[in-house]
């Protein structure tokens, strides 16, 4: 069983962003499984570093794609949405830096924070743009 599973309730009704969200969940689950399969902090650090960077890179790609369409369609909540994206990236970057320096390890509370943020963001903020984009003919 996965730590973070896709549910149709997450759908924004924008196929490309739903596909992105599914990939993000897969990457997130990959990090989760690697961390909890490790037997030492050193092993955890080595095994998860690449996956964390891959997850962060994909998050940045996805946020950029959302924001680009928001600008094109003059989405009224663009600045607020972009600010939330920036906040999440800063949190993940901060954690990644701490992880690289060996001052933090991935823990269950960290995963819960990441999962809850992503869940709330998709279910509330992304669903808002989904309706707006649908009204503009984007599916």
Tens digits of pLDDT across the chain (139 residues) = 788 899 999 999 999 999 999 999 998 888 888 777 777 777 777 776 777 788 889 999 999 999 999 999 999 999 999 999 999 999 888 888 887 777 666 677 777 888 898 899 999 999 999 999 999 999 9
Q: What is the rounded (10 degree) CA torsion for 120, 68, 90, 49?
A: 90
| CATH number for position 23 | 1.20.120.50
Asked if residue 4 is part of any domain, the answer here is no
Asked if residue 128 is part of any domain, the answer here is yes
- Cα separation values, 107 from 6, 34, 103, 111, Å: 22, 12, 12, 6
pLDDT digits (tens, 9 = 90+) for 67-82: 999 999 999 999 999 9
Burial tier of 57 (Cβ tally within 10 Å: 0-12, 13-18, 19+): exposed
Asked if residue 6 is part of any domain, the answer here is no
Asked if residue 3 is part of any domain, the answer here is no
Domains: count for the chain? 1
Find the domain containing 43 and state its range.
Answer: 12-135
Q: What is the CA radius of gyration of the chain?
A: 16
């Amino acid at each position: 069983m996965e730590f973070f599973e896709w549910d149709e309730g997450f759908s924004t009704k924008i196929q490309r962003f739903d596909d992105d969200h599914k990939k993000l969940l897969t990457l997130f689950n990959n990090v989760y499984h690697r961390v909890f399969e490790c037997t030492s902090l050193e092993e955890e650090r080595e095994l998860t570093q690449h996956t964390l960077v891959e997850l962060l890179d994909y998050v940045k790609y996805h946020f950029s794609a959302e924001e680009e369409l928001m600008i094109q369609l003059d989405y009224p909540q663009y600045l607020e949405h972009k600010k939330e994206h920036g906040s999440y990236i800063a949190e993940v970057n901060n954690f990644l830096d701490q992880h690289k320096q060996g001052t933090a390890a991935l823990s269950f509370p960290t995963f819960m924070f990441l999962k809850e943020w992503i869940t709330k963001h998709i279910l509330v903020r992304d669903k808002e743009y989904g309706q707006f984009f649908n009204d503009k003919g984007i599916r």
